Amino acid sequence: MTTGQNYDVVVVGAGFSGLYMLHRLREAGYSTRVYELADDVGGTWYWNRYPGARCDVESVFYNYTFSVEILNEWTWSARYAEQPEILRYINFVADKLDLRRDIQFNTRIESAHYDEATNRWNITTDEGTPVSAKYFITAVGCLSASNVPHFKGLENFEGEWYHTGRWPHEKVDFEGKHVGVIGTGSSGIQSIPAIAKEAKHLTVFQRTPQYSTPAHNKPYDPDRLKQIRENFDEVKEEMRYSLTGMPGAPRDRSALDDSPEERQRVFEAAWEKGGLMNLSYTYNDINVNAEANETLASFIRSKIREIVKDPEVAAKLMPDFYYATKRPIIDTDYFETYNRDNVSLVSVKNAPIEEITSTGIRTTEKEYELDMIVFATGFDAMTGPLFKMDIRGKDGVSLQEKWDDGAQLKTYLGLATTGFPNMFMITGPESPSVLSNMMVSIEQHVEWISECIEYMEKNGAQTIEANVEAEDDWSSHCREVAEATLFTKTDSWYMGANIEGKPRGFQIYLGGVGPYRQICDDVAAKGYEGFSLT
């Protein structure tokens, strides 16, 4: 017998996914409680407040589409909105739908244990009150477990240090300071130009040079906004059935079918347009054919060489992995920043960071005096946020044990996993998630889960659980699709390779947002094929 609070559904996280999940469930009449560690809504956009933080999906496509009213009441200022504007948007939605009254902030979910006797989830929080729910839904995001690598001596550092994914709410003042940034993923590449403008000196510690291409960010032209608004039904349909959840598709042509001159023309045009997918979409074999990939990779390298004036610095900035097998990055003046007198680049590939000292960073080659260190060192992606909670399914088996820390990652559709009845993961591992426009994937999962719960309740079902076979097939399918691409050939956070000791394996479904939606819809249409309902 459970004492404490009882709900139909408990949702963990009040970012984009948790908020929409709450809205859907509440509208359908289920008692729902959301728990959130932060003191307010926003998820990713609450935590990632570093200077220069912005979304790399075009603003008009990176918002909720479920309500025409919300769509029409919000106007984005620029092609790529900055973090404060996105957070304002999330707050606007939370206020409009009056969501806060069902969210408990400042609360960490410690554990969620499935009780086979009652078919309910027993959940504990850090504030003590036991909670129970029929359904347990994780809306914890894919990139929320920030990773500060275990550098020796960090505790001795006498200056300030921050991780980009846990940035303070107060303004961080770089003025007159010697700042070090470790990491050149999206967060590093977005923050480096902004920090360089303020700091006395900025030293970038780079392990892997990146392909980054111009965002060409600009204020929105009102005519473009009007046109998208007027045609939003079609735009929405295109996004939902596309490859990545954004309008557009790869051109139906191999990069190897064009002459070098023609390719150059095509790449130049895409570079001028800017944006996340324009270069990848120039040809249909960039992600699957090494030779095709190299044509684009070498084009970007030539651009870096053109932009960066010092040839030695440019040489250090040359990436040599397959383009897009680490998250492609779009930037504003990233490579240009290395032409500034107050910026220096240190490659830590061959001379790694050995120690953080009381006054700075010591690599195996040299010591750098710093007043402040910014860790742009990424996240324990996909499984990290789930493993932060002690989630136990049938027979007391923990999710971490079942997945053998990720080595045996297994899900059905990235939505559920065998042995964990009535638990759903929004944008979980082995769903398109981070390789798609998250907003499209979030809405698809939230709607699928709501309909599934609706179906269960109408049919008087107590539990839903993925079958072993269906799960095996889905996980094998995910691996096969990934193996047919170049993505698995590079060490990346997609592969779990950025975290010491984390098993390698591709954690995302690459079959495309449209085909994935179709598969999920078919499963539902067949009475939740691959699941057992009791």
Residues near ligand NA7 (CB under 6 A): 143, 149, 164, 182-188, 207-208, 327, 348, 353, 376-379, 434, 493, 498
Cβ proximity to ligand NA7, 166 vs 216, nearer residue = 166
Cβ proximity to ligand NA7, 319 vs 530, nearer residue = 319
Q: What minimum distance in Å lies between the beta carbon of 180 and ligand NA7?
A: 11
Distance CA 354, CA 413 (A): 42
Alpha helices in 148-259 (DSSP H): 186-198, 222-230, 232-240
Cβ proximity to ligand NA7, 478 vs 508, nearer residue = 508
**HEC profile for 78-99?**
ECCCEHHHHHHHHHHHHHHCCC
Distance CA 287, CA 293 (A): 6
Q: What minimum distance in Å lies between the beta carbon of 279 and ligand NA7?
A: 16
Torsion over CA of 84, 89, 92 and 93, rounded to 10 degrees? -140
Q: What minimum distance in Å lies between the beta carbon of 44 and ligand NA7?
A: 8
Distance CA 518, CA 146 (A): 33
Cβ proximity to ligand NA7, 30 vs 205, nearer residue = 205
Pair of tokens at residue 200: 């006395």
Q: Are 28 and 454 in contact (CB under 8 A)?
A: yes
Q: What minimum distance in Å lies between the beta carbon of 149 and ligand NA7?
A: 4
Torsion over CA of 328, 334, 339 and 343, rounded to 10 degrees? -110
**CA triple 332-337-340, angle to 5 deg:** 150
Q: What minimum distance in Å lies between the beta carbon of 11 and ligand NA7?
A: 23
Distance CA 378, CA 497 (A): 12
Cβ proximity to ligand NA7, 83 vs 282, nearer residue = 83
Q: What minimum distance in Å lies between the beta carbon of 182 and ligand NA7?
A: 5
Alpha helices in 392-437 (DSSP H): 399-402
Sheet holding 160-163, edge to edge: 160-163, 372-375, 178-182, 201-206, 343-347
By beta-carbon distance, which residue lies closest to ligand NA7? 185
Q: What minimum distance in Å lies between the beta carbon of 187 and ligand NA7?
A: 3
Distance CA 96, CA 98 (A): 6
Cβ proximity to ligand NA7, 90 vs 255, nearer residue = 90
Cβ proximity to ligand NA7, 37 vs 143, nearer residue = 143
Q: What minimum distance in Å lies between the beta carbon of 167 and ligand NA7?
A: 11
Question: Which letter does DSSP use for residue 477 in this model?
Answer: H
The amino acid occupying position 464 is I
Cβ proximity to ligand NA7, 87 vs 353, nearer residue = 353
Q: What minimum distance in Å lies between the beta carbon of 205 and ligand NA7?
A: 6
Cβ proximity to ligand NA7, 434 vs 449, nearer residue = 434
Q: What is the CA radius of gyration of the chain?
A: 23
Instruction: List 112's β-bridge partners, or say none.
Output: 123, 391
